[in-house]
Amino acid sequence: MADNDRSISLATLHRMPGYLAYLKAREAAGDEYISSVELARAMQENPAVVKKDLSMAVVSEGKPKVGYFIPDLVRDIESFMGYDNEKDAVIVGVGKLGQALLGYEGFGKYGLNIVAGFDPDPALAGTEVHGKKIFGIEKLEDIVRRLGVKMAILTLPAKFAQTMADRLVSAGIRAIWNFSLAGLSLPSTVAVKNENMAASLAVLSARLKEILSKEDK
C-alpha cells in the first residue's frame, strides 16, 4: 500500500513510466492480472525492486497467486505520478527544440498541457506554433501569474538560463524542466529536472563501444 510519508527515490520515479507503458499494453491486449514477479521479468528488473516500487505507488491490494488487477494498477500508478491531474506549463525558448516540444502530442498522456510559449525574438511574438500562442519575453511574468501556471520548460541557450529561471520563480513557477546546459541555482522550494542530451549521448556511445568491442573478440 502506498505510504506518502516514505521518501521516493529518483530511481523509482524513473522506473514507473516503464511499468505503466507495459501495463497499458497488457491491458489493451485483454489481460486482467499480473504479479510483481511477472512485471519484474518483463522489465528485466530485480523482483524485490519492483515489489518495493509498487508498495510506494499502489493502493489496490493484490490477490494471492493471481496478482494485481491491471486496470487498478494502472490507475494507482497514474495517480502516484500525477498523470491524472493535468498540469499546465509554459515553454521559454521557441527555437527548434522548443517548437518540437510544443508539437509533441504525447505529453497529454502524462498530464502535461503546454499553454503558451515565450521567446526573446520579437519576430516570434504574436505567432502560433502547433496551435500554441507565442508571446514576447517581456510578458512572461504577467501571463504566468495570470494563468496560475506552476511548471516551465526551459529551452533557451545556457547563457540566458539562470536569469530566465529567476524570473520564472519570481512569477510563481515551482518546477522547471531544464533543457539548457546551464546548472541552475534556485531555492529548494523549486523542483528542477535537468536534461543533458550530450551526456545521454555520451553514455549511449560508451555502451555501444563496449558492445562492439565484445563482438570483435
User: Smallest Cα–Cα separation from 171: which of 194, 197, 151?
Assistant: 151
Residue 183, annotated ligand binder? no
Residue 94, annotated ligand binder? yes
Kindly list the distances between the CA atom of residue 67 and the CA atoms of 22, 45, 72, 157, in Å, as whole numbers in the listed order.
15, 17, 11, 48
Query: How far is the C-alpha of 170 from the C-alpha of 212, rounded, in Å?
Result: 49
List strand residue ranges (DSSP E) for 155-203, in order.
175-178, 191-194
Report helix, strand or coil for 196.
coil
Residue 7: per-residue pLDDT: 60
Helices (H), 29-176: 36-43, 47-57, 70-81, 96-102, 140-147, 158-170
Cβ atoms of 53 and 19 within 8 Å: the answer is yes
pTM for this structure? 0.71
Residue 96, annotated ligand binder? yes
In angstroms and rounded to an integer, the radius of gyration of the C-alpha atoms of the chain is 20
**How many whole angstroms from its chain centre is CA 183?**
18
Residue 97, annotated ligand binder? yes
Residue 93, annotated ligand binder? yes
Residue 198: per-residue pLDDT: 80
Map out the domains of the chain as residue ranges. Answer: 10-81, 87-199
pLDDT digits (tens, 9 = 90+) for 83-134: 776 789 999 999 999 999 999 998 988 889 999 999 999 999 999 999 999 9
Domain spanning 87-199: CATH 3.40.50.720:
yes
Phi and psi, residue 188, nearest 5°: -65, -15
Domain spanning 10-81: CATH 1.10.10.10:
yes
Please classify residue 3 by burial: count the beta carbons closer than 10 Å to its beta carbon, then call 0-12 exposed, 13-18 middle and 19+ buried.
exposed
**pLDDT lower than 50: segments of the chain:** 1-6
Give me the sheet containing 132-136, strands edge to edge: 128-129, 132-136, 112-119, 87-92, 151-154, 175-178, 191-194
Residue 132, annotated ligand binder? no
